[in-house]
Structure 1
Amino acid sequence: MPHSSPVPVRLDRAAGVPLVRQLATSVREQVVSGSLPIGLRLPSTRALAADLGVSRSVTEQAYDQLTAEGWLESRRGSGTYVAAGAAPPRHRPLSPPRQSRPGLLRLDTGTPWIDPRHRAAWRRAWRDVSTATPPPGYDDPAGLVDLRAELAGHLARTRGLLCDPDEIVVTTGTIGGLGQVLAALPPGSVAHEDPGYRAAAEAIRAAGREIRDLPATRPVTELTDCAAAYVTPAHQHPLGPVMSGADRLGLLRAARAAGSVVVEDDYDSEFRYDVAPVPALAALDREVVAYLGTTSKTVGPSMRLGWLVAPSALHRQILARREVTHDTAAWPVQRAFLSLLRDGYVDQVVRSARRTYAARAERVVAALAGVADPIGPVAGMYACVPMPRPDALRVATAARAAGFDLPLLHDYCRSSELTGIIVGFGGCTDDELDRALAAIVRALV
């Protein structure tokens, strides 16, 4: 067996860029430049992890990404090699990352299904915007007054969260709201579920804060030295379970004891179809929880609109900063969403989507019966299906061959070693979902 060669890589833990991405980028650049020639045997993931002083999951994920892109190849019983033909002419661009490969339908956790029968209401909202008079200068730093009044009623009715319109801040979405919370917090690390929402982890790192991993399958009992804890209690992202009542109370006790803020991302709480939507965590303790809501799972991700209900002291700091930065959502978008709320559009698309997701969840469970078991009860617009890593990679490869891009559970992990696939069923048709499920089943039997 040939000896492997060392890979010269320097990782910067203070760079705000995930170590997996840094490692993959460095190896990719060395392959393209010819520094790592075709046919070279690379160190094992275990050996490279030891050399770099990182967890093995970092090197495994980097190798998996580069293998999926065609830069590396794995030879059973032999190791990982620089793939034949991996170094293209210098004028050719690098292959795009897996998430954006053309021609593949990505069955992700965040693309909602919008019933086309509601398009007339969407068009009416934007006609309403076109006839309204925009503010002559910068808008209210908290957001459009009338929109906050509508949101207060919406939150009370749908989430059991009672608040005054003046306690609501309109944001540019979940990550925009999270960024403003992070900027107003005192120094300290931020606890984050693992596996968890990757965009939130990126935002935490970009704010210059260290992430403390919270195992998503275990209760939170202490948050010492944490300025905040980011959680998805209504539908854990990406595993799916609801945080139990006992665990909610335990999390709030831990936050109060540590002086931490719990950041509640309520990203698709509307879409439970086994029981009524679970009330917001913020409804239990407004002075500990900063509540984040979003239009991305109802009206659509591209609207880039959300809302924040924060503890009073944090609320004041966020508004003071926004007075200076004008970091607010665009007025036309706020005005359009106001019309959509008033017109009943949001309630209509939620009801339609809930019925569609319920039916598609049943299709997923039925199709996979006997070969794989999703974490249940399935809710929202995706199912998380645990399985051994080799099976997950084989399924993802089979899905790509059939025209679908399936997210892998380990892509959402940092220290966790959970593996499996994610089957999103919001951004597809019933026929496309059936074809994807057939490809998954073929790969598993």
Structure 2
Amino acid sequence: MTSLALHLDRTAPAPLGVQLADAVRDRVTDGRLRPGERLPSSRALAVELGVARSVVEQAWAQLVAEGWLEGRHGSGTFVAAGRSAGAAPRPRRPSPATGEAPLVRLDTGTPWIDPRHQGLWRRAWRDVAAATPPRGYDDPRGLPELRAELAARLTRTRGLEVDPDDVRVTVGTTDGLRHLLGALAPGPVGVEDPGYRAAVATVEAAGRRVVDLPPGAAGSDLRGLAAAYVTPAHQHPLGRTMPGAERLALLAAAREAGAVLVEDDYDSEFRYDVAPIPALASLDRERVAYLGTTSKSVSPSLRLGWVVPPAGLGARIDEQRARTHDAAPWPVQRAYLSLLREGYVDRVVRSARRTYAARAARVVEVLGAHLDGPVAGMYATVPLPADAARRARDAALAAGFDVPLLDDYCRSVPRSGLVLGFGGCTDAELDRALAAVTAALRA
């Protein structure tokens, strides 16, 4: 059993469980802890560190969910993944405490927001300050006015004809998925592989088994599944749009299996080659649950989304949320209502679409030889051999950019490459990141 020799700072702002998880993760990624090594039990390590056992259990659960550790029934907790013997050390990320510049994360979910529209953003929050909040617990379905605006917007932009009573406001996409899982019949849930890691974690946290499906669930037999989670508008993370024939085949498979399709409409508004493709749910409201979010258009930190459940599931969701007083925060709903009414959302989406089109063209210009399809949305997937992908990732880190690896999104299907987001950066930063990546690939 490996001794960790850790120190936790009780005066630091970070919780002890987070400190412990960070310390162990660092030891795994830099090679001090090797795959297969057994770690102390939560009870033993809690005694050694002088903390509650729950602190260690929290850290172990986080690292298991991230794939760094694995629990073996009756045997203990072991290192599941890390740097193999003889491999080059992974560059350490700069820490704000050292005075170094923080990394620019080029991920798939950080949007670009045109600063010219900040006035409307500030006005929305002034409207919140002037409004009168509800006297008690709010409607768990969400503000009626906001649901009306969302219903109209979904009809206009996504071809999804819904009424305000069909829409439920949530605390983001995974919150909407969590509510759907609580209303579904028992059974496992299919998720695309590679796919959205937060969706996998949400399904597992709900106590359901995850069944790996090919991207878009093309040709899949869905029998035995309660649901299948898909991203048809812009498959996450491969970037492919599901063709019409595959959409119809997927709907037929879901009907035959009696399964619900959960459509995460991931960055669907940011097509710049053609008009945004209508939502899958527009083809069958009885079989498809629709998930949307403000994260890709306004801000991930707003933590607001919506779900349009199929008939029959909405009442179950409402009953559960009413019992637990589970509702999206009123101030955030009220602010987003103002942002919609004042045209802020439409303006930032139009601005971002133009910016992403220009940045996608730059990515194609520099990395076109490595791409195997058109670039859309706010990221580009770059297939590469595993060693070339790691070399490019490490070069980007050394230049100050955190670029995710494609295999980070994979579970059972081996794929390698980079997933290069270009929303949460400036044009100059994107050029520097591309220069570092291409230099590493040439080497």
Which residue identity does 1:368 align to in structure 2?
L
Residue 406 (structure 2) pairs with residue 409 (structure 1): yes
How far residue 19 of structure 1 moved from its aligned partner, in angstroms, is 5.2
Give the secondary structure class of the aligned counterpart of 2:307: strand
Q: For residue 40 of structure 1, what is the aligned residue in structure 2?
A: none
User: Across the two proteins, how many residue pairs are aligned to each other?
Assistant: 382
Which residue identity does 1:391 align to in structure 2?
A
Residue 388 (structure 2) pairs with residue 391 (structure 1): yes
How far residue 6 of structure 1 moved from its aligned partner, in angstroms, is 6.5
Question: Where does 1:26-41 land on structure 2 (aligned, <5 Å)?
Answer: none
Q: Is contact 2:217–2:250 with CA below 8 Å preserved after alignment?
A: no
Residue 233 (structure 2) pairs with residue 234 (structure 1): yes
Q: Is contact 2:94–2:102 with CA below 8 Å preserved after alignment?
A: no
Q: Is contact 1:9–1:23 with CA below 8 Å preserved after alignment?
A: no
Q: TM-score, normalised by structure 1?
A: 0.81
How far residue 149 of structure 1 moved from its aligned partner, in angstroms, is 0.6
How far residue 312 of structure 1 moved from its aligned partner, in angstroms, is 1.4
Q: Is contact 2:159–2:278 with CA below 8 Å preserved after alignment?
A: yes
Give the secondary structure class of the aligned counterpart of 2:86: strand
Residue 333 (structure 2) pairs with residue 318 (structure 1): no
Q: Deviations over 1:203-243 (max 9, x none)?
A: 00000000000011661432111000000000000000101
- Residue of structure 1 aligned with 2:86, choices 65, 74, 93: 74
Q: For residue 105 of structure 1, what is the aligned residue in structure 2?
A: 104
Q: Is contact 2:214–2:220 with CA below 8 Å preserved after alignment?
A: no
RMSD over aligned Cα atoms:
2.7
Residue 394 (structure 2) pairs with residue 382 (structure 1): no
Q: For residue 348 of structure 1, what is the aligned residue in structure 2?
A: 347
Question: Where does 1:22-421 land on structure 2 (aligned, <5 Å)?
Answer: 23-24=68-69, 62-63=81-82, 67=83, 74-75=86-87, 103-216=102-215, 219-370=218-369, 372-373=370-371, 375-421=372-418
Q: For residue 443 of structure 1, what is the aligned residue in structure 2?
A: 440
Q: For residue 29 of structure 1, what is the aligned residue in structure 2?
A: none
Q: For residue 7 of structure 1, what is the aligned residue in structure 2?
A: 37
Which residue identity does 1:411 align to in structure 2?
D
Q: Give the whole-Å Cα distance in 2 for the aligned partners of 1:194 and 1:203.
A: 15
Q: Is contact 2:106–2:402 with CA below 8 Å preserved after alignment?
A: yes
Q: CA 1:10–1:189 in structure 2 vs 1: closer, same or farther (change >3 Å)? A: farther
Q: Is contact 1:17–1:205 with CA below 8 Å preserved after alignment?
A: no
Give the secondary structure class of the aligned counterpart of 1:319: helix
How far residue 396 of structure 1 moved from its aligned partner, in angstroms, is 0.6
Q: Give the whole-Å Cα distance in 2 for the aligned partners of 1:23 and 1:312.
A: 40
Q: CA 1:16–1:278 in structure 2 vs 1: closer, same or farther (change >3 Å)? A: farther
Which residue identity does 1:304 align to in structure 2?
R
Q: Give the whole-Å Cα distance in 2 for the aligned partners of 1:189 and 1:95.
A: 40
Q: Is contact 1:111–1:301 with CA below 8 Å preserved after alignment?
A: yes
5+ unaligned residues in a row in structure 2: which ranges?
1-33, 42-59
Q: CA 1:121–1:22 in structure 2 vs 1: closer, same or farther (change >3 Å)? A: closer
Give the secondary structure class of the aligned counterpart of 2:333: helix
Q: For residue 55 of structure 2, what is the aligned residue in structure 1?
A: none
Q: Deviations over 1:291-315 (max 9, x none)?
A: 0000000011000001110111001
Q: CA 1:142–1:218 in structure 2 vs 1: closer, same or farther (change >3 Å)? A: closer
Q: CA 1:223–1:193 in structure 2 vs 1: closer, same or farther (change >3 Å)? A: same
State percent identity of aligned pairs: 61
Q: Deviations over 1:350-403 (max 9, x none)?
A: 000000000000000101134x22x42111110000011000000011101111
How far residue 74 of structure 1 moved from its aligned partner, in angstroms, is 2.4
Q: CA 1:18–1:148 in structure 2 vs 1: closer, same or farther (change >3 Å)? A: same
Q: Give the whole-Å Cα distance in 1 for the aligned partners of 2:423 and 2:331.
A: 26
How far residue 16 of structure 1 moved from its aligned partner, in angstroms, is 7.4
Q: Give the whole-Å Cα distance in 2 for the aligned partners of 1:75 and 1:294.
A: 40
Give the secondary structure class of the aligned counterpart of 2:226: strand
How far residue 195 of structure 1 moved from its aligned partner, in angstroms, is 0.2
How far residue 25 of structure 1 moved from its aligned partner, in angstroms, is 7.6
How far residue 183 of structure 1 moved from its aligned partner, in angstroms, is 0.8
Q: CA 1:411–1:223 in structure 2 vs 1: closer, same or farther (change >3 Å)? A: same
How far residue 9 of structure 1 moved from its aligned partner, in angstroms, is 6.6
Q: For residue 45 of structure 1, what is the aligned residue in structure 2?
A: none
Q: Give the whole-Å Cα distance in 2 for the aligned partners of 1:6 and 1:130.
A: 54
Q: Is contact 2:216–2:232 with CA below 8 Å preserved after alignment?
A: no
Q: TM-score, normalised by structure 2?
A: 0.81
Q: For residue 419 of structure 2, what is the aligned residue in structure 1?
A: 422
Give the secondary structure class of the aligned counterpart of 2:121: helix
